[in-house]
Chain A
């Protein structure tokens, strides 16, 4: 399933970029453009070939790790992505960590005690979390914690090599911003997954058998409820990466999202192409990994279900 989807995605990305009005050779040469110079660049970039051959050429290069060159800086796109990916990955992982750390315990508690404090908290997080615009939340967090209390930096990125503390403190507000939307979805899914499993007959049977409540809960209920939680988390990964594009803009983080937006504004196609494809591939592989994890968690599911 993964290969055909990736193929479809690559076709769409490639042909979209070819729809772009304007000549990339003009972007490269700028005012120095002469007819001969333009023709030479067209030959270099393979733009004089028929479009299907351009695609095959591009895909071949892509698969062998050659993602083309930045039209402006002439740097290899692979190098650019290698610089930017760690930032985006750190941002998404930290926000994944933050949202699961809050939403799973609350969701579980909400399912165990309906109408309790956790249930109400889950209602509130679930509703407000999906309704708040992430970029605005980021702005407000900066207003309060950077401009107001001066605890965290309002923007910018410190590489890990400079120091873990500085690096992390720059990620606190962006990750928190990104985490809220995901937490909203996860808290709802966790609550309903746990509640559904707890209502099942096998749980009643385990109780009748005299198994202790904690044993039932941790060994049986949580394990069964983990399936939908893992699936939904992986499905949300695409939203997380999309959100990262916006959040990186708000906090001026040099991640892939930032790269794509800047390249888009500069009509720097090789960078946009590679960036979009990498992000899409990432989403597809995370979904595949989640399916495999579910296979491990649930022996009843067979490989045929994937």
Chain B
């Protein structure tokens, strides 16, 4: 029980930070994600402001003080484009994971706590969606509805929702047998109240771990889909799209593919470090 109580820190940030300090992985992950997110948010002020600004005097210039990541075949600053691309990646990842949780967590609570034929139907539906290789699904949807950022967010959310359902269902079906749930039922609490106030807070740890891993996967998906031309469309800067555009020139200018790739790697690594370290902070209950 004492482990579970730690899940509900009384005052926000300081407690979270103190918790984070107990795991090196989480600290490192939060530092990486925090720095990248900060850079993305401050993009217009950190950079020249315009990721599409061309300068034909500096075409494919190697990294220098003025252009830390070099410039591309249109003389555009690679670092500026990477930071703006990161903005798009993070927005896609945050919105798709949030959407998946909004849809998946309530369904998972229902399936895990109430069960019955409704719960079974929900679980079978997750089986069907999860049988599709995720990328193939996103590709097919992009082909049908036309490639766009909105569609990409929706289709990634659609793939992630069953995962959120599963994790929540597994956690809640374990929690529903706890004595305190029986107590709440005996007091006459409604099922909705029990799910919201008793099951959900105690299922928070595995959901948070999963959400963190999903953030990383979403960034990988966004860049991969944009790389094959079915995601973010030019001239919007995207890390995946940049890699596809810059690839033909990499023999002469390897920095064109290094900057964007390392940035994706770091962002995903950050979220995975957080996901790896969280179970240690939350205690055993978070390990799925």
Contact = CB atoms under 8 A, between A and B. Distances in A.
A239 B261 contact: no
Contact of B216 (A5, A130, A135, A242): A130
Q: Interface size for chain A: under 10, 10 to 19, 20 to 34, or 35 or more residues? A: 35 or more
B280 to A, nearest CB: 14
B143 A267 contact: yes
Nearest to A250: B227
Contacts, number: 139
Given A139-B243, A238-B131, A238-B133, A133 B250 contact: no
B87 interface: no
A140 interface: yes
Contact of B257 (A143, A239, A243): A143
Nearest to A284: B131
Interface stretch (A14-22, A44-52, A94-102, A201-209): A14-22
A87 interface: no
A16 B131 contact: no
A133 B261 contact: yes
A9 B133 CA distance: 11
Interface in B225-270: 227-230, 240, 243, 247, 250-251, 254, 257, 260-261, 264-265, 268-269
Interface stretch (B9-17, B134-142, B161-169, B177-185): B134-142
B127 interface: yes
Interface in B118-153: 124-125, 127-137, 139-145
Q: Which 9 A-B pairs have the closest CB atoms?
A: A264-B143, A8-B128, A242-B133, A242-B135, A136-B261, A131-B269, A131-B268, A241-B133, A238-B133
A56 interface: no
Interface string A114-134: 000000000000011011111
A30 interface: no
Given A4-B124, A283-B131, A133 B216 contact: no
Q: Binding site of B, secondary structure by majority: helix, strand, loop or mixed?
A: helix
Interface of A: 1, 4-6, 8-9, 12-13, 16-17, 19-20, 127-128, 130-136, 139-140, 143, 147, 238-239, 241-243, 245-246, 249, 257, 260-261, 263-265, 267, 272, 275-276, 279-280, 283-284
Contact of B250 (A4, A143, A242): A143
B136 A242 contact: yes
Contacts of B133: 238-239, 241-242, 245, 279-280, 283
B154 interface: no
A12 B272 CA distance: 32
A272 B142 CA distance: 12
Interface residues of B, number: 44
9 contacts: A17-B144, A135-B224, A136-B223, A136-B261, A139-B247, A238-B134, A245-B139, A280-B133, A284-B131
Interface centre among A127, A140, A239, A242 (most CB of B within 10 A): A242
B103 to A, nearest CB: 17
A9 B257 contact: no
Interface centre among B141, B227, B228 (most CB of A within 10 A): B228
Contacts of A131: 216, 265, 268-269, 272
B272 A127 contact: yes
Contact of A246 (B128, B135, B141, B254): B135
A71 to B, nearest CB: 13
A261 B269 CA distance: 28
Contact of B134 (A132, A139, A242): A242
A283 B128 CA distance: 11
Contact of B128 (A5, A16, A130, A143): A5
Nearest to A7: B128
